[in-house]
Amino acid sequence: MNKGVAITGMGIISAIGNNVEENYNALISGKTGVSKISKITTIHKDAIKVGEIDLTNAQLEEQLGLTPENNYSRTALLGAIAAKQAVANAQITDIKDYRTGLVSSTSVGGMDMTEKYFYQYLEDEAVQKYIEGHHAGDSTQKIAQQLGIEQSLVTTISTACSSAANAIMFGARLIKSGKLDRVIVGGSDCLSKFTINGFKTLMILSDTDNTPFDENRKGLNLGEAAAFLVLESEEVVRAGNKKVLAYVKGYGNANDAHHQTASSENGDGATLAMEKALKVAEMRPEDIDYINAHGTATSNNDLSEGRAFLRIFGNKIPDFSSTKPYTGHTLAAAGGIEAVYAVLAIQNNTIYPNLNFETPMKEFNLVPQTQTKEKELNTVLSNSLGFGGNCSTVIFSKKS
């Protein structure tokens, strides 16, 4: 019998809330965080919509008690806040009492600051400090420092949109293999002009609110967020008589090797990832109660993921919805954000509405859940399908 890995704490900051409670309240009330750009100076300001967090860097620095000479990127600031929330939620008072590691993920890293001062580096030594914070691992190192575990196993995953899901999977495997007793897992990404310009070049950004699985979908809304979960072994949970929020029951990663940015039209990668996750969880497709879909509202992704649903579940597809219309697509953080949402769904026996849906896609008659729905949920499957065909699935359960 496969035992799941316990989730004992969660933390999140996104466009719909600065903590877990605020995020959940927005989800069940249908409150979106997607709007016109207000915090980044870009020529695309009025052409697209994004999911921005309504806090300045200065306000985030104040929360963390940082001095003015810090070189934190916004990615590091958001990640540190969410990770510290997760540790506090897990009621950890001495983080070094067990072998504890950190697996964090990001795509943007520190580029929000390096792009801001790009033309000043040669003349202004005061801003050269941000060059050291540019690389993807810097935000992870800063999160580890904030948690007091910088001497532990600390590593970064950057596999595009599947990154945080892969961090969760790696953390669970570290615990199952006995390498660590506790792992903080998740991801953080902020908005930057680089990503806005890049996705604009791909012509997959929408000028309206995104509409996952809708025939008339126009593209995605980028978003910024950070979310982390605390994973702990059975021994730690038992020794501390700890409350378990849910379990990481299964996981799978696959690559459809189809295209640099597009998914296979037949959903090969997503199908393989879901098959692997079900196998690890020792479950059948009919055991899944709800799917938190990747659902980016791009023409390619929704077609690919929908076909993968049909290949796995046939004509008995569980209730499903995408939460991207709430937060925007938060890139490397997406798997962490949606993991928190999956656990909240299990805890509250609630399925979130797929906002903005109106017309089923012509390729198949798949209709997501469009209203908040109360239903007994024992298992939730969450998909994260990344660029380069890197596809990951994590299954969360109420019981081990």
Does the annotation mark 135 as catalytic? Answer: no
CB neighbour class for 376 (10 Å; exposed up to 12, middle 13-18, buried from 19): exposed
Paired with 51 in beta bridges are 34, 223
SS (H, E, C) 139-206: HHHHHHHHHCCCCCCEEEECCHHHHHHHHHHHHHHHHHCCCCCEEEEEEEECCCHHHHHHHHHCCCEC
Catalytic option among 44, 134, 135, 294: 294
Does the annotation mark 161 as catalytic? Answer: yes
Catalytic option among 134, 135, 259, 329: 329
Q: What angle do the packed helices 57-64 and 74-89 form, to 10 degrees? A: 40
CA 399/CA 378 separation, integer angstroms: 7
Catalytic option among 134, 135, 161, 259: 161
367: helix, coil or strand?
A: coil
Does the annotation mark 134 as catalytic? Answer: no
CA 351/CA 217 separation, integer angstroms: 22
CA 252/CA 273 separation, integer angstroms: 5
Phi-psi region of 120 (alpha: psi -120 to 50; beta: other; left: phi over 0): alpha
The residues that are catalytic are: 161, 294, 329
